[in-house]
Structure 1
Amino acid sequence: MQTLKELRERIKLLEVERANLLLEIEKLKKAALERINSLEAEISMLREEAKSFQEFLGCASEKANNQSEKAADKLQS
């Protein structure tokens, strides 16, 4: 059988542990949000880079097609 004093001490220890765990959870949430923001920014940058490459390659493909058409026209003439 536990005495009233022992029960109070246990309750106090558990309350302290609970408070510490809540603080740790808040820190982890903050770190997770920072990671999310970082990843979102990186993904946005990569999408822009991919879009630029697609536009560049599309433009390069159009130029190559135009040059091929001009060369074919010259051969037919």
Structure 2
Amino acid sequence: MPHEQKIVYSKLVRDRIPEIITANGQTTRVRVLDDQDLLPALIAKLHEEAEEVVSAEPRTVIVTWIERTYHRRRRRSLTG
């Protein structure tokens, strides 16, 4: 039996990341946060995103935002 590597990410996920991981043959374990845990997790995610923006090249920030916005709108239009 092959040894599986366990990776723990204690952070919010979006854009169906667990489904993508599962589709690649890996297993995931997720939990839905309750109201008490959600706000601190959202604040931590906001800080993480802000740090990425501050440390990135301006062009990269703009391109990333456009890609995320375009793909999110496209997915919504495809799923109804």
Answer whether TM exceeds 0.5 for this pair: no
Q: Which has the higher contact order (CA 8 A, sep 6+)?
A: 2
TM-score (norm 1): 0.31
Larger radius of gyration: 1
